[in-house]
Amino acid sequence: MVDLSVSVINSGNRELVLPCIRSVYDTAGDLSVEVIVVDNVSADGSLDEIRSAFPDAVIIRNDKKEGFSANNNKAIRAAKGEYVLLLNDDTVVHMGALPAMVGFMRENKQAGATGAFLLNPDGSPQFTGRARPTILAALMISLGLHRLFPGNPVTARYYAKKESYDNVEEVESVNGAAMMVSRDAIEEVGLLDEGFFLFCEDVDYSMRLSAAGYKLYFIPDAKVTHYRGASTGGRRMVWTYHKSLFRFYRKHYAPDRLFIVNWMVYAGLFIRLLLYMAYGSVRKKGGRGGGVQ
């Protein structure tokens, strides 16, 4: 069996995806690694460059554009690795990161998933190892109150950066920009929820892993630079983002909440959607994954 399968979705950004794939091969160390590239109907010639530069990479080519979950599920189905790393195409893996993650998971069989230490291009830390939002936090975030009251304790835990990034920590949610999952966990929990076209799928999967009894960890020695791409503009993406928020809430929170609470959240999401539709764009924080923002 291959030690590690790495899923990279190529959406047509050769300036990012080629260094991303190169970094995987360059930092694998003694690990046997397969890179699976799912080409999401790229039109910039990047697929031909990937084939030329990385002849050992497994290529899966879409006939039509598909979402983050669906694309990664294709790679997971094809993967032969003991572990599978979902890796954004706008990342660069640092030396030692992959052996650190695989080594930790081999020594800690209860680990269903581990998250890398995501860094900005300037070397500063990104939000890594987020807490899961509570129902009140989700409501406040949906209404935008976290921006009006940035220091409030309800949402501070979800958004606050860590004071120290030196230690392995058990976390509640792993960022999908660089999420490693064990084969055993995948076989028990299943694939990503393809109902999430984009956004929230990583938080959803983290919650499913936790519900199955697995633990999630942040690995400080697994450094990955995350460029985040650019702001995702357009009303279509705004709609996609809020559709994912709505699905996430209905799936994980609504069944156990009072009717009036649910409708307050739905109203908040609808108001937020209208505001963002008027604005015309939404920024993806934390990559193609990301939960409530």
- DSSP secondary structure string, 99-159? HHHHHHHHH-TTEEEEEEEEE-TTS-B---SPPPPPHHHHHHHHTTHHHHSTT-HHHHHHH
Domain residue spans in the chain?
A: 2-226
- Please state, rounded to an integer, the average pLDDT across all residues of the chain: 85
Going by pLDDT thresholds of 50, 70 and 90, the confidence category of residue 121 is very high
Going by pLDDT thresholds of 50, 70 and 90, the confidence category of residue 291 is very low
Provide mean pLDDT across the span 81-96.
97
Q: Where are the beta strands (DSSP E) in 12-67?
A: 33-39, 58-61
Report the range out of 153-157, 261-265, 280-284 with the highest average pLDDT.
Answer: 261-265
Classify each residue of 102-132 as buried b or exposed e, where b means 16 or more C-beta atoms within 10 Å of its C-beta: bbbbeeeeebbbbbbbbbeeeeeebebbbeb
- Percent of the chain's residues with pLDDT above 90: 57
Question: 2-226 has which fold?
Answer: Spore Coat Polysaccharide Biosynthesis Protein SpsA; Chain A (3.90.550)
Task: Report the interhelical angle of 14-27 vs 46-53 (nearest 10°).
Answer: 20
Contact in structure between 287 and 130 (CB atoms under 8 Å):
no
More confident residue, 132 or 288: 132
pTM: 0.84
Calpha distance 277→185 (Å, rounded): 38
Name, in order, each residue with C-beta under 8 angstroms of 156's C-beta and a sequence gap of 6 or more.
none
Q: What is the pLDDT at residue 256?
A: 77
| Dihedral class, residue 286 (left if φ above 0, else alpha if ψ from -120 to 50, else beta) | left
More confident residue, 69 or 261: 69
Which of 221, 270, 250 lies closest to 99 in space, CA to CA?
221
Compute how many other C-beta atoms are within 10 angstroms of the C-beta atom of residue 231.
Answer: 11
Report the SS3 class of residue 5.
strand
**What DSSP state is assigned to residue 79?**
-
Q: Where are the beta strands (DSSP E) in the chain?
A: 2-10, 33-39, 58-61, 81-87, 91-93, 111-119, 169-171, 178-182, 215-226, 232-233, 281-282
Provide mean pLDDT across the span 35-41.
97
Going by pLDDT thresholds of 50, 70 and 90, the confidence category of residue 230 is very low
Of 26-40, 66-80, 153-167, 192-206, which range is least confident? 153-167
Tokens representing 263 are 């409708």
Which of 174, 40, 59, 154 lies closest to 113 in space, CA to CA?
174
Provide mean pLDDT across the span 282-293.
41
Q: What is the pLDDT at residue 165?
A: 79
Provide mean pLDDT across the span 88-95.
96
Reply yes or no on whether the pLDDT at 134 is more than 70. no
